[in-house]
Structure formats: structure tokens, C-alpha cells
A and B are shown apart, each in its own frame.
Chain A
Amino acid sequence: MRLPPFAYERPRDLYEALELLNTFGKDCRVLAGGTDLLVRMKQGLATPSRLISLKDLPELATINESDGFLNIGTAVKLADILAYEPIQYRWPGLLEAVKSVGAPSIQHFSGTIGGNLCQDNRCQFYNQSKFFRQARQTCNKAGGNTCFAWKGGSDKCHSICQSDSAPILIAMDARITIKSKNESRTIPLEELYSSVGERPLTLADDEMLTEIHVPGPVPGAGCAFEKLTYRSSIDYAVVSAGAYVQTDGSKTVNARLIIGAVARGPLAIAAVEKTLKDRTAGDEEAIDQAGREAMNAAEAFIANNITQPVEYRTQMVSVITKRALSRATKRALSHTDVSEAK
């Protein structure tokens, strides 16, 4: 499969990169690991006339901890995150999510955290060859006005966000830094996602995600990531969930749950916090209820956009939610004092 022609830029510093973005705007794309973008370009789904490589920007490829945050540069390889030792005991949920991306040892050496967060939405009617798409009407996401994934059609795109790292990072309250030539802003990660299938990211054409800031573990808090797939590897999620649970040692005081692979963006299930709050940590009934709430909330979004049946995916939201919450709670209870965990 051939790539279409494009110009290739390899800026030497971030400023140069941002200047290029400023000059060429929507005609160019940032090339990190390429595992998402290059496939879409081969399929004719993305047609940038210029690619800006992050290869020579070491400032975007560092991991450090400061002021209680884990700061990960956008171009940090997934393998480097896995190899960063403190993540093993301090951010195990993130470890689980990164591990589950693509195939171990392969995508991991190319794929980057920024690329994983900024990957385009997917749909089984969209992520196909030109030949496949030419045989039918153009869908909303490809610039037309129909949706094959939504029963009866739709004027909106019903593609899904398949990022594995987004649900857990949002659950952990991660923030991101976005830069353009003239501006820099740090926002909650969830604001990166527009919930618009056609254009799932809120980044402006001249902007680039440069850094992810993950809060350090809080005493009594725990995180977990769950992902259901039909195959052991090289698989996108049927449903995924990132869970954050904070306890006071016996009761849940705070909880966040984000479901992946069901909606146009990572789907925050607001009801879960209310449900778990002030209940005994790990209370099965409460977690069951949270599972049902997640399922009910997700149901409205689940479209026929991946090969697994809609009904099954809906049910699985509950199962995966419960598993993620249970494990996060377990971790929360065993990490009441973070210094101990070190």
C-alpha cells in the first residue's frame, strides 16, 4: 500500500515546529509514531500535504516528575513509559492502559503517548480502503452526509474514540499542555475531546499537544484500567474503562469512571461518583449499581461502528466498569499511605 505524496519537515526545535504549524495549518499534520496517521493516509482518510516530524525534538520525549506531577512529553514512546520504573507502583492504571495498546514490543517502540491520545476516531464503515468506501455513499466523517453505523442513518458521525490511555488519564485527572506559536495553555485532558465524531479533537489547526501532566498518587486513592478484546493482542477495545477511586480507608470519598470505545469521545459517567460516595469501599452492591449506571449512560451512544454486536457491547460496559472499579478500590485500600507504597 502506497502513501500519497507529501512534504516532510523535520524541525530542530519546538519553536520551529510550531511555526510550521502556524504557517501551514490544516494542511499539515504532526507525525509522531505514525501507527495511526500513516495507515489513514494509506487509506486516503487523511491527506495532509505536509508532515511535521517530532523525531528531532528531544524536549517532547522526556518523562520527569515535578510539583507532584508526572510529566510525559507528547513524543514519549509507549515503551519508554513502560520502562519508567516508578509507574509500576505509582501509576499502575496507566501502566495497564499503555501495555494494552497494539502489540507489545512493536507498536510500543513506535507509538507515542501523544499519538495515542490524539488518534482519530474509528468506525468499521470509515476505516476501510478507498475501494471499500467508493462502493457506497460518503459518510459524515468522510465529508458526506450519512452514517452507516447508526440505525436509520444520522446527520452526525457515530465513530468512537479508541484511545486506551485517554480513559485512565482522564480518570486520574490528567492535564495537558497545548502550544501554538503564540500561545500555551494547560487544560484538563477531557477538554481535548470534542465529542464530535467528524472532528474529535479540540486542537486548533496551529496547535500541538506537547505534554501530559499526571497527578501523583494521593493517599487512599487507586486507579485501574480494563479493556475487553476478542484477541490477546493487536486489538482495539470492545469496551474499555479507566477508574479512579479514593477512600478514607473504609468509605469511598471520591470516584471517577471513564468509558472508552463506546462514544465519540471518552465517556465520563458522572453518576458513578454520587453512587459510590460515602458507601463502604468495595461494596459490591454499590459497584453493581455503578455498573448499571455506566451501561445506561453508554447505551445511548453505542452504534454499529465495530464488528461486535451493539447489545453485547452495552452489556460489557457494566462488566468492565465493575472490574475497573473493583480493582481501583482494592488498590486504593492497599495504598492508604503512599509513602509506604514507595
Chain B
Amino acid sequence: MSNYALVGKNMPRVDSKAKVTGQALFTADLKFPKMLVGKILRSPHPHARIVDIDISAALNIPGVKAIVTGHDTIQRKWGVFGYTQDQLFLPADKVRFIGEEIAAVAAIDEDTAQQAIDCIRVEYEVLDAVFDIMESLAPDAPLLHEDFPHNINVHVPINVGDVEKGLAESYYVREDTFTAVEDSYFQGEPYAVVARFDMDNNLEIWMPNAGPHMKAKPLSNALGIPLNKVRVRKITIGGAFGGRSEIAPADLICALLARKSSRPVKIVYTREENSIATRQGHALITTIKTGVGQDGRVIARDITCYMDGGAYSSTGPIAVSVPFLCMEQAYKMEHVRYNGYRVYTNKPPRGMIRIHGRAFACGVDTQLDMIGDHLGIDPVTMRLVNAREAGEFTNTKSHVASCAMKDTITKASDRAGWKEKWGKLPPLRGIGIGCNSVQTGFPMGIRGGSQATIKLNEDGGATVISGVVDNGQGNDNMLVQITAEELGIRPEDVQLVTADTEVTSSDPGAYSQVSTFIGGHAVKNAAENVRKQLFDAASKVLKVDPDDLMARDRMICVKGSPTETGIPLKKVIRMILASGKSVSGQGEYWPKVDPKREWVKNPFGQMCGAFSFGTTVAEVEVDSETGKVKVIEVTVAQDVGFALNPLVIEGQFQGSVAMGGQGGILTEGHVWDKGSVLNPTQLEYKVPLACDMPKINTIIVESNDPEGPYGTKESGMSIAMSAAQAYAAAVSNAIGVYMTDFPLTPDKVLGALQNKMELETPNQNEDVMEKTLELVVPAV
């Protein structure tokens, strides 16, 4: 292992002081002279044609400075992909979900803005609406978008090998269906936007985002102004979890209001608006047919998945593909067929979420347990037999350069005491394991790479210019850590100019778990470039080869000799500056992905630079009278490549267990009454609390990815996914029934337990675990 000064070590985050003192400014904290308050009028109908919008009464209210409707836009549809452009922000023709934006007001204060909103009269022609995946696919279903027949937004077909042949040759085949309702992000910070135009009509805009450059381009398109006039500014961001990746209607609306009123405008969403009018997770129905050999090895899988996409595409093709991709990365199989459909319904649009496709992921693992149960193979062995290994290719032809999946399985199960517990726990106690793999990056087209600049000042301080954004996961600290490491300076010597589209070059954003791998890589390369300039200059003074130099503790010195014998860094900088040159350098990084890979048309080729792998083991206890699940202990292990900052990684793991397992499997899900969300706030959408959380053991596994900076790759999300799977498996194990509909709220757990008790003979229902059942129901 190399001798690093900073990377690989626990480093408290550079942004935390501003956050613990209340100094860190989030979007809603911003205040500008003459700033107005913006409010949005939303559709009360899930599906309706807009006949007329009358804003005259609202305009007459004193203090109202601007009102915008669809007529103020250039009516250019948004879609992440050319072939998914289906959403007008401020539609003028029709609305497709309850909460869709219709008009907006900017006024001198919130009360006036709300009063004006209440005075806008909209005449609707109410249309039939559809809220269910299968009903939406029915021939007589109301059509949401004229140009998407059968309400199918995206269909991703993948077929590798010969599935029929594989299934025919299998020793055991089974087919099961798994379902889940919509889950939601519930970021700490409700969505907010502040926008203003300067005298030259440059837009400055602040909002929580998972990639400022991902916001700027669509904004420039929607406003019809050049990209260099759109300045998405850096701001503290209160979480994203996949939900703040693309342009939001409020971004455009706020900009339109600012332009029309010639004043800064701030829109702050209520918690309800954040739930119903940003993005939600997908509901889904997935049917998995798997054939295995006698040893439990998967020979063939045939999967059909229907995802409820809500009213618009959002990241549709990615959303449909990712659950499948995670599976094919995590587990080997010879033949596989996938048909993923994203279906339109009259519900809010859905995006990617930290435990995206929970029913899919939990389905794959639950079925492995069902198969193991049938074959007499325990869950850990089932996973070891099928686990991905380094050097292999996925079915869709991605090379997996680094992979310690088996290590994570062994380490997590050993630490959790699997061998002592599996099959030996008292009734109503259960243990379960889940494994998953997450991409370090998605194919992002022109925004697939990152470019960074570093300049050094005469006092030895560095300024880093990078498009990397920090949503809360610690990306700013990552950039500081890398820069300080490479230049041999201290974290306090580094200043960041980041996530500001006026000055920073393109970057894919934090959305695809890629900030360190790509953005951090670019900064590392920039730092190496600058360091080379320093070494070249220093080598002349020290009369040694530049390759023999190292930067450490603000000094440039000869490798192997004491640091103090070197030259102070700032002296070297001054020498270079005095020679008429700047001490600055650029760095780029572009991942080695297959540029021809496309989500729908060509889902083959190198997907991303690296893949992470994670395993979670959970142990639970079920209250047989109420169905409530108490989680006793959770153990997680993830192959993160290299642990750049273990302190931060542990935090990611723990947060992943909370959102993926505890919330994602036990309590979280939206409740609907037709198109209305009955639980849009944290009161009834039950995000876990401190008292709910179990003890979590964290194990960091390193596989040193050959491509990642220092060997790093994605960290944390493999845990969110595998935690969901492990929680599901543990509950199933505790009650002796394989659970297939998520989340596993007490009513469902109790229902399953009671159904099992009522069964007369164990063989009537294959879903019932054969062994556990014998314990509960005496031999018949």
C-alpha cells in the first residue's frame, strides 16, 4: 500500500463547520434586494384538458409582479433523451397528474402570491385517468401521450444466449412475481429555486441539484438562450438520492418569473410539493423465471418488469435498465432475457432512487433463497455459487475489472455469525442476506467526462475549479483530500470553485455514483499536472530527476530523504511565477465506456468504468401478534475499490441501511386514493427515526480498481440495495413465508404469518419454507 498522507484516512469533512454553525446557506436561505416570492398553481385533476386560464383577477392584486403560464414558454418539450421528450413545463394543452404545474405568480410576499394563485381561474375538461400499471396497458385505457401507444413510455428488450434452451436444461425452474408501491426521496431539504437575471440578461440560478451542468443545458434550451448565459451557482444541497438530477419545472418557472418581473424570485416548495411535484420512486411488478443446476448455479433467467413511470419520461430508459443491470453485475448466469417496460399513468413522474427497483432486487434474492430452500443449499452458498468475479464480463458485455463480491459475502456473513445462526434461531427470529452491485457511472453522452483546473498562488494555496457537486455525500471534501494529497499541502490550503456553470467545465454530476471516479479523477489529473510543473522547477534547484521528487507537508523534497531537506512549496511557486509562467494545470478524465452503448437500441458494450459490490446481512425478530419487525443487528460489507475516507464511507453505509433496509423494506411506501398521494409528508410517510435503527456493523472491502483514482469506485449504494434485500430475506426467514410485496409493513407480515398458520398441508403452497413450517405446524 502506498504511503499516503491524507487519502485512505479518516478526515472530518471540510464543509461540516459551516453546517454545524448554521452558516451554510441552502437555497431557501438566500435573500436578495427586491426579491419576490414565487408560488405555483397546480392541477387538481389527474388528467384534464386545459380549456382556458384566466389570470386577469390575479394580475389586479396589488403586489403581484408577474404571472406566467404555458404561453410564456417556447413550448419545447423536455426529455432526458431525444426519444423521450414528452414533458412541457407549464403545459398549455393538458395536465397529466395531480400537482402538475399550470401557472405561477411572483409577488412581494408569500401571502400575496398565494392570494393571486387562488384567484387564477382555470377551466378544465376532465379526462378519464388511469392509475394502475396493468389498467394503463389495457386496450381501452385512456392514452396519456398521443405519440406513445399503449401508454408504453419505454421498452428495453435484452436477450443474451438462449433462454428457452437454458431453462430446458435446468435442474429446477421456478417463476415468481414481486411487487412494490412507490417509494420517495424525502430529502431533508424541500426543493427550492432562486433565479435572477443581470443587466446583460445572464441567468443566475440556485437550486438543489445533482449536477449543475445537467441543469444548465436544458434550461438554456427551454429559455432559448445560449448556455453561457445560464449560470447555475453553487449552493449547499440538502440531499438528492437520485431525485435531483434533471431540470425541474420549478427551475424554468422561477427563471421565467424572474425574467418577466425583472427581479430576483424565490420559490420554496412545501414538503407536500416536494413529494408530489418533484420525482418519486417507481412502483413495479416484476416476474422472474429462473432455472438452476443442481448446485444452485443460475443457468437462465427470464425477467419481465413493468414499472409505473407516472405521467412523464424523466430518466425512463435508465430507470428501466438499472435494476436489470445491477442484477447481471452481481450474479452470473449463462442465458438471460429481459423485457422492461416503463408505463405511463396519471401519477407524478418517477425518477431513480437510492434503492431503485426494490421489488426487482428483493425478488432476485428472495427467489435465490426459494431455490436454495428447494435444493437444500443455504443462502450464503447460493450467493457464493453465483457471485460475480473479477475479470469476467456481464451478459451485456461489460468487463468487470475489479470485484470482491465473494469477499463481501464471506466477511459480512462471518461477522454476523451466519453459521451459528442460520437454521438455528428460535421461532420468529430470522436472518437474511442480500447482495448487489451498482454502476460507477452511466453512459452520459457528451457529459460523460469531467474537466478540472487547479491554480496555485504564491503563498502555496491552491484553487480547484471543478464541476463536481456535493449533494451532501461529501464530494467537496473528496476534492480537497485528493488535491491536498497530490500537491503535498494541507486541506486548509485548498479552496474550491465548484458546481458553478459560469466557471466550471462540464461534469456528469453526482447522479450516477461517479463523482470520485470521474470528477475526482479529473482533479487528480489536474493536480498531477501542476505537480509536474513544480517538480520540473524544483528538480533544477535540487539537481535531481523530477521523478525522484515528492510533495509532502508543503515541501518539495527528494524521495527517501527527510522532508525538511526539500524546498518549501511556495518558494517553488514563486520561482515559476517569477519566470513569467502561471502555476496552473488542467486535468480531464473520460471513463472507458463503449460510446456505442445505448439504453434501448444497443444495450451492449462497456457500461461504465467500474462496478461496486456489496453484501448485507440482517437479523430480525417478528412480533407474532402485531407483525411488527424489530431489527436486531445489521452487518454490511462493500467492495469500494479503495476507501478514500473511511469515516465518510461508513456514514454512507449507515445511511444506506436506514433508507434501503429500515425504511425501504419495513415502512416506506406511498398510499394512494386514485391519483392523490395520501401520505405526502413525513408524518405518514414513515422515514426511519433514531430509535428505529439497529446496531450496524460496517466492513469496508478493497479491491483496488485498476482504473479508479487510488483504486476507488462507488461506495454506499450497493449497501442501500443489498440492505433492502437482506431485510426482506430476514423477515421471510423469521416468519417462514417468502414475502413478495414490499414494503413489509406489520399488516402484511401478520397477514402472511396468519395465512401460513391456516394452511392445512405444507405442500399446498410452495411459497412456504419447507423447513421452518415443520417447526410451526406439527406433521400432518
> A residues within 8 Å of B by Cβ?
1-2, 103, 124-125, 128-129, 131-132, 134-136, 148, 228, 230-236, 306-309, 311-312, 315-316, 319
Contact = CB atoms under 8 A, between A and B. Distances in A.
Contacts of B679: 124, 307
A234 B272 contact: no
A1 B99 CA distance: 17
Contact of A228 (B44, B626, B673, B684): B626
Contact of A135 (B98, B682, B750): B98
A15 B117 CA distance: 42
Nearest to B675: A135
B63 interface: no
B578 interface: no
Given A232-B692, A319-B625, A131 B745 contact: no
Contact of A231 (B673, B686, B747): B686
Contacts of B44: 131, 134-135
Interface in B644-691: 667, 671, 673, 676, 678-680, 682-684, 686, 688-689, 691
Given A132-B676, A135-B98, A307-B671, A234 B683 contact: yes
Given A135-B98, A232-B691, A236-B683, 6 more contacts: A2-B114, A136-B676, A232-B689, A232-B692, A308-B745, A312-B751
B626 A316 contact: yes
Contact of A131 (B272, B673, B692): B272
Size band of the interface chain B makes with A: 20 to 34
B85 interface: no
B122 to A, nearest CB: 12
A337 to B, nearest CB: 33
Contacts of A136: 676
A316 B110 CA distance: 44
B761 interface: no
A235 B686 contact: yes
A130 to B, nearest CB: 9
B678 A307 contact: yes
A315 B750 contact: yes
Contacts of B128: none
A128 B680 CA distance: 9
B342 interface: no
Nearest to A43: B272
Contact of B42 (A131, A235, A308): A131
Given A2-B111, A125-B673, A230 B667 contact: yes
Contact of B110 (A2, A128, A231): A2
A326 to B, nearest CB: 12
Contacts of B683: 234, 236
Contacts of B110: 2
B270 interface: yes
Contacts of B684: 124, 306-307
Nearest to B682: A234
B746 interface: yes
A312 B750 contact: yes
A230 B688 CA distance: 10
A230 B686 contact: yes
A306 B683 CA distance: 11
Nearest to A318: B625
B335 interface: no
B47 interface: no
A124 B676 CA distance: 11
A230 B625 contact: no
Interface in B614-628: 625-628
A316 B746 CA distance: 11
B358 interface: no
B406 interface: no
Contact of B272 (A125, A129, A232): A129
Contacts of A233: 689, 691
Nearest to A304: B673
